[in-house]
Structure 1
Amino acid sequence: MNTNAKPNTAFWIIAVAALLWNIIGVYFWLLEYFLMTDEIRATIPAEQVELMANAPAWSMYIYAIAVFGGLLGSLILLLRKRLAIGLFLISLIAVLLLQLYWIFAMDLVEVMGPQSLIMPLLVIAVAIFEYFYSKGAARNGWLV
């Protein structure tokens, strides 16, 4: 393993895309828990507002771990540090806990319809990709 290998252009594109994705995640966490106004709430389907209102208190913290773990992982990935792997793993575990809870325990599909699975499955897929990509980057010697 070459620990001084120079990452290719795709690495930088993926790392920046991961950073942007996770910034969006942090924004939505802030919006849901701190910035939600009645005007914004009025633009969201009533079923979704009810689901959000009925979510357990612990989900706020798991959501925070997921998005801030991903954000930190992305920043550390851009710095080419192996710590990104662990941060992405923590984020992935939190994503799985939260999204699977929403899908199965909160009856997401029953309340919102089958199209409501698109975003949770996309979030899970991206979290899995970020974790395994960071492991591959370390294997390629791009992370120290």
Structure 2
Amino acid sequence: MSDTTNKPPIWYWIITVILLLWGLMGIWIFYDFIASTPETMAKYVADGAFSQAYADHLMTTPAWATAIFGLAVFTGALGALCLVMRRPWSVPLYMLSLLFIVISHINTFAMAKAHKIMAGGQIGMEMVVLALGLFALWFALTAKRKNWLS
């Protein structure tokens, strides 16, 4: 590791801002999830956003799975903030976020088998979350390797 820091290119900032916005959106979705009531879930079902089975699944999510979801979201958002501030802490934060994403996916797909009641778009979004988690870690590692982080 070098003691000098290189100036990152403009695309670094574009990607970093996109990752930060993604992280903030994740926080908003997590808040919406933990603040959900049976009434809000009924509205999602009535609007056609969720099936009744999926809404029931969400309302009975174990506390540990909700905690893992929150940890994935907040470590990812903090990783993005570290990229904005050009700090190397983005790498371990994104590693943790990816670990929590994988644990969450193991619960969703292997343990709870929620994919059987999820719509195609919901499954697709889960794959986007995993792909962006992988990309964010790769990007942070690349930024560190290129000495864009100090």
TM-score relative to the length of structure 2: 0.88
Single out whichever of 77-86 and 53-62 deviates more from structure 2.
53-62
| Cα separation, 2, equivalents of 1:55 and 1:101 | 10
Could you say what the CA RMSD is over the residues aligned between the two structures, in angstroms? Answer: 1.6
SS of the aligned residue for 1:75 comes to: helix
- Deviation digits for residues 41-79 of structure 1 (CA, Å, limit 9, x no counterpart): 222421221111222110111111101101111111111
* Structure 2 residue 104 is matched with structure 1 residue 103: no
| Matched residue, 2:90 | 84
* Structure 2 residue 17 is matched with structure 1 residue 11: no
Contact 1:12 1:78 in 2 (8 A): yes
Q: Match for 2:40: what amino acid?
A: I
Q: 1:27 deviation in Å? A: 0.3
Contact 2:76 2:97 in 1 (8 A): yes
- Deviation digits for residues 58-117 of structure 1 (CA, Å, limit 9, x no counterpart): 011111110110111111111101011011111110011002210121112222255542
SS of the aligned residue for 2:27 comes to: helix
How many residues align? The count is 143
| Cα separation, 1, equivalents of 2:16 and 2:63 | 32
Question: Is there any run of 5+ residues in structure 2 with no aligned partner, and where?
Answer: none
- Deviation digits for residues 15-61 of structure 1 (CA, Å, limit 9, x no counterpart): 00000001010001101102x24553222421221111222110111
* Structure 2 residue 94 is matched with structure 1 residue 93: no
Q: Match for 1:62: what amino acid?
A: I
Contact 1:108 1:116 in 2 (8 A): no
| Matched residue, 1:65 | 71
| Matched residue, 1:133 | 139
| Cα separation, 2, equivalents of 1:123 and 1:50 | 22
| Matched residue, 2:26 | 25
Question: Is there any run of 5+ residues in structure 1 with no aligned partner, and where?
Answer: none
| Cα separation, 1, equivalents of 2:121 and 2:18 | 25
Q: Match for 1:18: what amino acid?
A: L
Q: Match for 2:11: what amino acid?
A: A
| Matched residue, 2:40 | 40
| Cα separation, 2, equivalents of 1:17 and 1:116 | 21
Please identify runs of 4+ aligned residues in structure 1 that moved more than 4 A: none
| Cα separation, 2, equivalents of 1:108 and 1:32 | 16
Contact 2:38 2:59 in 1 (8 A): no
